Amino acid sequence: MRAAIYARYSSENQRPESIEDQVAACRRLAVQRGFTILEEHIYTDQAQSGARKDRPGLATLLAAGQQRAFEIVLVDDLSRLARDNYLMLSVLAELHFADVHVVSVADGLDSHDQDATLGIQIRGIFNELQLQDLKKKTLRGQIGQKQRGFSVGEHTYGYTSVPVGATRLDKKGRPRPEGFKCEILPREAAVVLRVFQAYARGLSVIRIVRMLNTEAVPGRMRTSKGWSPATVSRLLDNQKYIGRWVWNKQEARRDPRTGRRRQFPKPESEWIRHEDESLRIVPRDLWEAVRLRRQQVRCSWPGGKGRRGFSANQGGRVQHFPTHLLSGAMICGTCRATMAEVSGKAGGYYGCIAATKGACENKLLVRRTLVEKIILDTLRARLSFPAAIDYTLRRVEEEIGKLYAHIPETLRLKETELNAEQRRLANFVDFIGEGRGSRTLAPGPPRH
- Residue pLDDT, tens place only, 18-39: 889 999 999 999 999 999 999 9
Distance CA 77, CA 59 (A): 18
Average pLDDT over all residues of the chain: 82
Question: Is the per-residue pLDDT at 444 higher than 90?
Answer: no
Residues 122 and 7 in one domain: yes
Residue type, 208: I
Residues 282 and 346 in one domain: no
- pTM for this entry: 0.53
Last residue of a domain, one of 337, 361, 381: 381
Distance CA 208, CA 215 (A): 11
* Residue 213: CATH number of its domain: 3.90.1750.20
Residues 296 and 331 in one domain: no
Distance CA 331, CA 340 (A): 9
Residues 234 and 353 in one domain: no
User: Which pLDDT tens digit goes with each residue over 258-300?
Assistant: 667 788 888 988 888 888 899 999 999 999 999 999 888 876 5
Torsion sign over Cα 107, 112, 115, 118 = positive
Residues 207 and 277 in one domain: yes
pLDDT of residue 398: 82
Coil, helix or strand for 314? coil
| Count of domains for the chain | 3
Question: Is the per-residue pLDDT at 311 higher than 50?
Answer: no
Cα dihedral 112, 116, 119, 123 in deg (nearest 10): -20
Residue 80 lies in a domain: yes
Would you place residue 120 in the very low, low, confident or very high pLDDT band (cuts 50, 70, 90)?
confident
Distance CA 281, CA 306 (A): 36
Contact 79, 281 (CB under 8 A): no
User: Which pLDDT tens digit goes with each residue over 348-358?
Assistant: 888 888 888 78
pLDDT of residue 259: 62
Question: Is the per-residue pLDDT at 310 higher than 50?
Answer: no
Contact 82, 62 (CB under 8 A): no
Residues 282 and 326 in one domain: no
Query: Distance between alpha carbon 317 and the CA centroid of its chain, in Å?
Result: 24
Residue 386 lies in a domain: no
Identify the weakest region by mean pLDDT among 125-139, 214-228, 429-443: 429-443
Would you place residue 238 in the very low, low, confident or very high pLDDT band (cuts 50, 70, 90)?
very high
Per the structure, the complete domain to which residue 330 belongs is given by 322-381
User: Which pLDDT tens digit goes with each residue over 65-86?
Assistant: 999 999 999 999 888 888 888 8
Contact 367, 346 (CB under 8 A): yes
Coil, helix or strand for 375? helix
DSSP 8-state class, residue 212: H
Residues 250 and 287 in one domain: yes
Q: Which of 208-217, 398-407, 414-423 has the highest average model confidence (pLDDT)? A: 208-217
